[in-house]
Amino acid sequence: MSALFTPLSIRGIEMRNRLWVSPMCQYSAVDGVPNDWHHVHLAQFAAGGAGLVIAEATAVSPEGRISPEDAGIWTDAQAEAWAPIVAAIRARGAVAGVQLGHAGRKASTTSPLTGGRGTVAPEAGGWTTLAPSALAYDTFAEPVALDAAGIEKVVEDFADAARRAVAAGFEVVELHAAHGYLLHQFLSPLTNHRDDEYGGSFENRVRLLVRVTEAVRAATPDVVLFVRFSATDAAEGGWSVADTVAAARLVGAAGADLIDVSSGGLVPQQRIVTGPGYQVEYAATVRRETGLRVAAVGMIDDPALAENIVADDRADAVLSGREWLRDPHYGLRAAAALGADSPAPAQYTRAY
């Protein structure tokens, strides 16, 4: 039997296989509301055999968007727009998840679809960005350091967004604490220069993420909860794999069910060598050291590689992104390559 195409059940929610779709920003929403593009984009992966489809980084507040074109879930209207998309994913046999995020100092930026790169000024539809400390990312605008009330609002925004996600039908919620966005900015000493209870020591820097995890778990006690980490900043003096292991234990105790392990994104001077499966060993380390479920990600574009990662117990599941964009039926192709039972919809079975 194929390990990759063995079901995985968490909190009574069964993913039919362990080949999943990573959240991928589409920069195609209007006022945070998803539309027909998101519907077709996400539903095709479910028809293509994915076990879990995670919708893109979805902002928990207007100021949490990466760009003005980002999707959101800070209003009931946005949640209602997500509902038929979630239904379409589930109707095609996959579980629907959503990644909740706040971009922090990397917010209010130009959509890459326009070909630009930089901060969108308030007069052009952008906004003042927020961060743990008033330190700009690269050439972006300098953010404002969050005060105590602002931190409380972040916690409440994540909890409220999780409630709306569950109301829309999502069965998996992922907290985005990676890639240099707000929760990651609090974690790393490179971006967190605070001298209060949220800065300085490891215990203080991880405090906001633990509080958000606890708040989301309390608000949505039955949801399957993931936390995505960048395992390392890949920069001198930054967040490390050992830090990720320690933080994973804390969020696991706070209610997280699975750790989604990526890397980098915090500072432009990072040094990362990429290649097929280049982040898998980070996931394997977290799994081995904590006993928690983990998902591996990072150029896992070959079914045989994905199979080996799961079969060798280096990860409980595999997330891919660009390969699903290249081939929305990657799951069906992978099942055929591995000799597994095909998750093809009845309308497609003649091809398999």
pLDDT in tens, 66-85: 999 999 999 999 999 999 99
Bridge partners, 173 (sequence order): 98, 225
- 246: confidence class by pLDDT, cuts 50, 70, 90: very high
* Residues 132, 195: Cα–Cα separation, whole Å: 10
Domain contains 66:
yes
Domain contains 76:
yes
* pTM of model > 0.85: yes
- pLDDT score recorded for residue 116: 76
Q: Residue 84 belongs to a domain with what CATH number?
A: 3.20.20.70
Q: How many domains does the chain have?
A: 1
SS (H, E, C) the chain: CCCCCCCEEECCEEECCCEEECCCCCCCCECCECCHHHHHHHHHHHHCCCCEEEEEEEECCHHHCCCCCCCECCCHHHHHHHHHHHHHHHHCCCEEEEEEECCHHHCCECCHHHCCCCECCHHHCCCCCEECCCCCCCCCCCCEECCHHHHHHHHHHHHHHHHHHHHHCCCEEEEEECCCCHHHHHHCCCCCCCCCCCCCCHHHHCHHHHHHHHHHHHHCCCCEEEEEEECCCCCCCCCCHHHHHHHHHHHHHCCCCEEEEECCCCCCCCCCCCCCCCCHHHHHHHHHHHCCEEEEECCCCCHHHHHHHHHCCCCCEEEECHHHHHCCCHHHHHHHHHCCCCCCCHHHHHHC
Q: Is-contact 175 234, C-beta < 8 A?
A: no
pLDDT, averaged across the chain = 97
Domain contains 310:
no
* Residues 229, 252: Cα–Cα separation, whole Å: 13
Mean pLDDT, range 243-267, rounded to an integer:
98
Is a pLDDT exceeding 90 seen at residue 34? yes
Domain contains 277:
no
Least confident of 62-71, 114-123, 328-337: 114-123
- pLDDT score recorded for residue 86: 98
Mean pLDDT, range 107-132, rounded to an integer:
94
- pLDDT score recorded for residue 143: 98
Is a pLDDT exceeding 90 seen at residue 186? yes
Pairing mode, if any, of strands 13-15 and 8-10? Answer: antiparallel
Rounded percentage of the chain residues whose pLDDT exceeds 70: 100
* Residues 15, 89: Cα–Cα separation, whole Å: 12
* 193-237 residue pLDDT tens: 999 999 999 999 999 999 999 999 999 999 999 999 999 999 999
* 281-316 residue pLDDT tens: 999 999 999 999 999 999 999 999 999 999 999 999
Active site residue 352: no
Interior/surface letters 19-49, b for 16+ CB within 10 angstroms, e for the rest: bbbbbbbbbbbeebbbeeebbebbbbbbbbb
Q: Which domain holds residue 116?
A: 8-258
Domain contains 274:
no
Mean pLDDT, range 15-38, rounded to an integer:
98
Is a pLDDT exceeding 90 seen at residue 57? yes
Mean pLDDT, range 99-124, rounded to an integer:
94
Domain contains 202:
yes
How far does the chain reach from its first CA to its final CA, in angstroms?
18
Domain contains 139:
yes
- 10: confidence class by pLDDT, cuts 50, 70, 90: very high
- pLDDT score recorded for residue 352: 84
Among residues 181, 198, 282, 330, the one annotated as catalytic is: 181
* Residues 181, 23: Cα–Cα separation, whole Å: 14
Domain contains 3:
no
- 43: confidence class by pLDDT, cuts 50, 70, 90: very high
Mean pLDDT, range 163-177, rounded to an integer:
98
* Residues 259, 151: Cα–Cα separation, whole Å: 23
